[in-house]
Structure 1
């Protein structure tokens, strides 16, 4: 099965900043180039609000332009995202507004940490930022076909229309799969929406807790297919590592 990362290259911080499922081949992140045509966020789904799902903006060594991903604030100084967003990143910044055209103040990172177990990364902010509620992490989730959950992200919408807000969609679990680095992943299929470029690092929430972060898609471009499949790095093998680094 061909997999594609959901990273998004952004022309500027205003208007197009977002999460990125960087779709690549054979688990290698493929960063999308700037495109003046309309782009998409989560395909389908609906807009939502969250105090802890953040917009990420960064540069990547050896690449031109600015890229975007989605992340989850798990404490006042730690953000969870995908490793293919943090690995090789420079000038990482987080924005806490759910509005992509008005992302609010930038909170700069002073370091990133990449998991050795798969496509999970952590971002540490220079200065703490308090929110009303931090993202809750699951522990011990085993993918079961038929389970349902929700995905979130600032990525592209159907037919390549730019996202103007945070979007969410319901998905169904198909079983276990692999992430961009060969780690364990949760394979999902959209019920009323699917992930797209810009949703990388965004959460898969089942029973109120995050069980995975967006890694790859089953196709390079889901178009307007709300039932497209994607793979979310399962937090199970990373859970002790996350606690060791963040205390969460």
Structure 2
């Protein structure tokens, strides 16, 4: 059995196909004081710290206007659009930090103009308040084959329950093991952890196979007894973007390559 660690806190019902949820004003989220960073999901124990050039499209989803209170990750797919996990959606989701390997510092911050939760799975589209030029993730047309090698990226916890996110973006190798279900019942790409394992703090992070974005990190197995030396028997479910391509194209104009 897979024990998912995605935490669904007051998940809103999805709007009608193509209907935006407006981004909140900056005053919605106070600039100081403890804050709920949004629904948790997953990042990487083990793995390795990497340069932003390894995943230049990887972004941080923040629950303040300054881009400091990071709760999830995502991927930039065009100058104006970011894709993340639907269970990260919140009225307090306010900004995206782009183009930096470091948690909460550097790069460029854009506020969120509108949020589009998918009606079919754990996928969220975020429209940026202004375009940001960069290197964008290419969407795959296909569900990846069983046995395919992939990589996941994120800034989340480095040990189960630690609450200590990684200051530098990390990556880990995974292997596609088949299909499953994401946190809201949509089709997932199921992967087995190999060189690291996702933990709390970075839902929505990219799953990359053969240089293409194939999934959005949704849930993962609970990591037993601290960090083991290996990750055998630990699995992750990533919302399968092949199931959402038509919807993504209608909302954003971005098509798979």
- Cα pair distance change 1:103/1:69, threshold 3 Å: farther
- Cα pair distance change 1:149/1:142, threshold 3 Å: closer
- Cα pair distance change 1:140/1:129, threshold 3 Å: same
Does 2:241 correspond to 1:207? no
Q: Distance in 1 between matches of 2:114 and 2:241?
A: 21
Displacement of 1:238: 0.4
- Cα pair distance change 1:20/1:197, threshold 3 Å: farther
Which one of 122, 135, 138 corresponds to residue 136 of structure 1? 138
Q: How far does the alpha carbon of each residue in 1:142-161 deviate from its partner, in whole angstroms, 9 at most, with x for none?
A: 451x2211001111113634
Q: Quick check: 2:62–2:72 contact (8 Å CA) kept in 1?
A: yes
Q: Distance in 1 between matches of 2:152 and 2:88?
A: 17
Q: Distance in 1 between matches of 2:136 and 2:244?
A: 18
**Coordinate RMSD, CA, aligned:** 2.7
Q: Distance in 2 between matches of 1:134 and 1:221?
A: 35
Q: Quick check: 1:111–1:125 contact (8 Å CA) kept in 2?
A: yes
Q: What residue in structure 2 maps to residue 51 of structure 1? A: 56
Does 2:154 correspond to 1:153? yes
Does 2:9 correspond to 1:4? no
Q: What residue in structure 1 maps to residue 86 of structure 2? A: 83
**Aligned to 2:236, what secondary structure does the other structure show?**
strand
- Cα pair distance change 1:210/1:20, threshold 3 Å: farther
**Aligned to 2:63, what secondary structure does the other structure show?**
strand
Q: What residue in structure 1 maps to residue 25 of structure 2? A: none
Displacement of 1:105: 3.9
Displacement of 1:100: 1.1
Q: Distance in 2 between matches of 1:171 and 1:182?
A: 22
Q: Quick check: 1:6–1:200 contact (8 Å CA) kept in 2?
A: no
Equivalences for residues 194-233 of structure 1 within 5 A: 194-219=197-222, 223-225=226-228, 227=231, 228-233=234-239
Q: Distance in 1 between matches of 2:141 and 2:203?
A: 21
- Cα pair distance change 1:241/1:56, threshold 3 Å: same
Q: Distance in 2 between matches of 1:69 and 1:83?
A: 11
Q: For structure 2, list consecutive stretches of 5 or more residues without a partner in the other structure.
A: 9-30
Displacement of 1:21: 4.9
Higher gyration radius (CA): 2
Q: Distance in 2 between matches of 1:222 and 1:171?
A: 21
Displacement of 1:19: 10
Q: Distance in 2 between matches of 1:168 and 1:191?
A: 11
Give me the TM-score of the superposition, normalised by structure 1: 0.78
- Cα pair distance change 1:222/1:70, threshold 3 Å: farther
Q: Distance in 1 between matches of 2:213 and 2:221?
A: 21
Q: What residue in structure 1 maps to residue 171 of structure 2? A: 168
Give me the TM-score of the superposition, normalised by structure 2: 0.76
Provide the aligned length of Structure 1 versus Structure 2: 216
- Cα pair distance change 1:203/1:242, threshold 3 Å: same
**Aligned to 1:89, what secondary structure does the other structure show?**
coil
List structure 1 runs of 4+ shifted beyond 4 angstroms: 18-21
